[in-house]
Amino acid sequence: MSSAIILFGHGSRDPLWRLPMETVAARLRHLSPGTPVRCAFLELEAPGLPEAAGALVAEGASRVTIVPMFLGTGRHAREDLPALVRQLETEHPAVAFVLQKPVGEDGRVLELIAKIALE
């Protein structure tokens, strides 16, 4: 394995909150069966980003793409997440960590949300 994906969310005490993320993870596994996919959370749920990334690195990942599952770029996406990624880069210098923009900044996602709202 060389490439892997982490879907990163805030986390919640409500176990149903993570269902959409788990659904996206399952869809990714279906679309790309050879690509390991994990969900990770900032707080209130496990695993955290360091644990999810560490597991993927232990399995042989040399490139990990982190997808922030946020609609907007708030403090967590702007400050907390980049700090966590810098920590990962220090702990795993041989691994390339690629931090994508939050999914809500992708025009395709915004277009789809608008279309759903019009239904």
Low-confidence ranges of the chain (pLDDT < 50): none
pTM of the model: 0.93
Every domain of the chain and the residues it spans = 3-118
3.40.830.10, 3.40.50.800, 3.40.50.1400, 1.25.50.10: CATH of 3-118: 3.40.50.1400
* Cα-based distances in Å from 95 to 12, 63, 80, 91: 29, 6, 20, 9
For residue range 17-46, list pLDDT tens digits in order. Answer: 889 999 999 999 999 999 999 999 998 888
Phi, psi of 22 (to 5 degrees): -65, -35
What is the per-residue pLDDT for 111? 96
Cβ atoms of residues 12 and 44 within 8 Å: yes
